[in-house]
Amino acid sequence: MRTSLFIAAALAASLGQTAQAAGLKDEAEIRDGLLVVGMAYEISEKCGSIDARKLRGITTLLNLKSRARDLGYSSEEIDTYVDDKAEKKRLEGIARAQLVQLGVVPGEEETYCAVGRDQIAKGTGVGRLLR
């Protein structure tokens, strides 16, 4: 799947374009939040028996945008970051690597399902975005 991993890509318009060199990509809270959403999205796309909680995902993304504003980033900086294709690819790579560490085997649906069920059972950030 070469399409963007993140719901953020689908919501780029609502999230509103690369932030300054030492900008949003270095904000752990924002980056980690996007990774959680991305991992949940990937699981929901690869496991037929698990769905994304889309409203929660959208709410999470909007909260991340609000937090970025609280950290002093302008709407333009946030939009630039959200639309940065290189950054999306970088985050996709990190999210997929984290899924592998959790037990996902790329191309094996049941491993996505097992990781998803485990995340749901543990009530993790990823699990709260799945059902």
Decide which of 25 and 115 is more confident: 115
Mean per-residue pLDDT of the chain: 87
6: closest CA among 79, 90, 119?
90
120 occurs within a structural domain: yes
2 part of a folded domain: no
Would you say residue 64 lies in a domain? yes
Q: Please report whether residue 58 resides in a domain.
A: yes
Cα-Cα end-to-end distance for the chain:
22
Give start and end residues of each alpha helix (H) in 71-122. 75-83, 85-102, 109-122
pLDDT at 15 over 90: no
Is residue 1 included in any domain, yes or no? no
| Residue 104 within any structural domain of the chain | yes
Domain that holds residue 110: 7-128
In a domain, 124, yes or no: yes
Domain count, the chain: 1
Residue 16 is predicted with a pLDDT of: 38
The predicted pLDDT at position 67 comes to 97
Report pLDDT digits (tens) over 70-94. Answer: 999 999 999 999 999 999 999 999 9
> What pTM was computed for the model?
0.81
Question: Quick one: pLDDT at residue 21?
Answer: 36
